[in-house]
Amino acid sequence: MQSRMPVIIDFYADWCGPCRTLASIIEKVAEIYDGKVAVCKMNVDENPSTPNRYKISAIPTVILFVDGLAVEKVVGLHDIDFYKELLDKHLYKPEVISEEIVEDSDAEVASDHTL
């Protein structure tokens, strides 16, 4: 899966009660993260080979892809705060700063603590 932004896929079936409940939660997630996360739905009955590929044995299942890799797999029904926390964890990672800056700040800290 290739995308510039993270992708969340909701694997569901029309006959699944928890899947129907999750659908409204996933719609809210799509609104909140519009432009930051691509949100997709995959009906497992209409696309039986795709769930097998990702070893999905129960629904609802949500998989989060970042840089083309499946980084989170969530089985079952969870509230919107759970999904917000999950996405924020992957969207707002601290950025790595230059090694030179780290070395300079380490030297300053070391000089501040000399006896």
Q: Which residues are catalytic?
A: 16, 19
Name residue 38's beta-bridge partners: 7
Dihedral (Cα; 107, 109, 112, 115), 10-degree rounding: -80
DSSP state of 5: S
